[in-house]
Chain A
Amino acid sequence: MSAPPPAAPLDVVTLAIALITALLGPGSAAIVGPYVVILLGAVMGSAWSASRRETETRLATARHMFLHVSLALLATVPIALMLGRWLEFDDRWLLGPVAAVIGGIGHDWPAVFRWALDLGKRTVESIAQRKAGGQQ
């Protein structure tokens, strides 16, 4: 008796890839499919962060959204891969949420970096203190 055929992947990104394959051809589909999901997540997040800012011109809003959508398009895939490995979760399901968070942080990125630096500094200090305490 032969083994049953392997189950086909049924997640949304696979389905998007299948449809784009039909529309654009197999070469483009594998790239475009996940990026549509990232684009939508990033647009939602960056619009949310734009709504938190003080009133600006249309051009300033467009620039803000363009910058953060671009950042999400560049950074989402590596972050989702890293998170997927760390959480032992299929990284393709993380693309949309990660893009939304990247866009949603928006103009607060400098504050996030400052917080991360402070956290790193405090961690290093506490490790150094523990080592110094152990040597005495």
Chain B
Amino acid sequence: MSYETLLLTAAVNALVCAGIVFVCFCRVGVMRKDTKTIFRAIYVLMGTAALASALQPITPPFYSWPSTADIASNAVLLVWLASGWSAWREAPTYTRKGAAEPVALRVDQLRHVAGGRGSP
């Protein structure tokens, strides 16, 4: 791969990573004191890791040029993060301490489904 191609790949990767950093730190900004530690840790670490990925030619422990696979996986992550944009205008209820998980599909809830537990 030529030096110009490596630079272009690094620039595109840095752009995608900048998007991830922006989304993660926007979510960090809307978090409150009662936000679950796991959600705080996820978005802080994801944002920092994306910054490290953007700077990977000069960042320990990467020290390498990004590949097209790096760009693809970072782009998928960015799309996934962007898909929750409207839900994160403020920290969702499920992220607060003491709140239930977002998709808590328990077996005992299935009784209302035909053929489910407890159905006639």
- A→B interface (CB under 8 Å): 12-13, 15-16, 19-20, 23, 32-33, 36-37, 39-40, 43-44, 47-48, 50-58, 60-62, 65
Cα distance A36–B90 in the bound complex, in angstroms: 32
User: By the criterion CB–CB under 8 Å, are A51 and B28 in contact?
Assistant: yes
Chain B CB within 10 Å — which of A12, A13, A19 has the most?
Answer: A19
User: By the criterion CB–CB under 8 Å, are B60 and A12 in contact?
Assistant: yes
User: By the criterion CB–CB under 8 Å, are A55 and B32 in contact?
Assistant: yes
User: By the criterion CB–CB under 8 Å, are A50 and B25 in contact?
Assistant: yes
Given A40-B52, A40-B55, 14 other A-B contacts at CB below 8 A? A19-B57, A19-B63, A40-B59, A43-B47, A47-B43, A47-B44, A50-B25, A54-B32, A54-B33, A55-B29, A55-B30, A55-B90, A56-B29, A58-B29
Provide the B41-53 mask, 1 if CB < 8 A to any CB of A, else 0: 0011101100110
Cα distance A16–B44 in the bound complex, in angstroms: 23
Nearest 5 pairs of A and B residues by beta carbon = A61-B29, A12-B60, A51-B40, A44-B48, A47-B44
Q: Is B81 an interface residue (CB 8 A)?
A: no
Cα distance A19–B31 in the bound complex, in angstroms: 37
Please tell me which one of the listed residues B30, B48, B91 contacts residue A47 in the complex, with CB atoms under 8 A apart.
B48
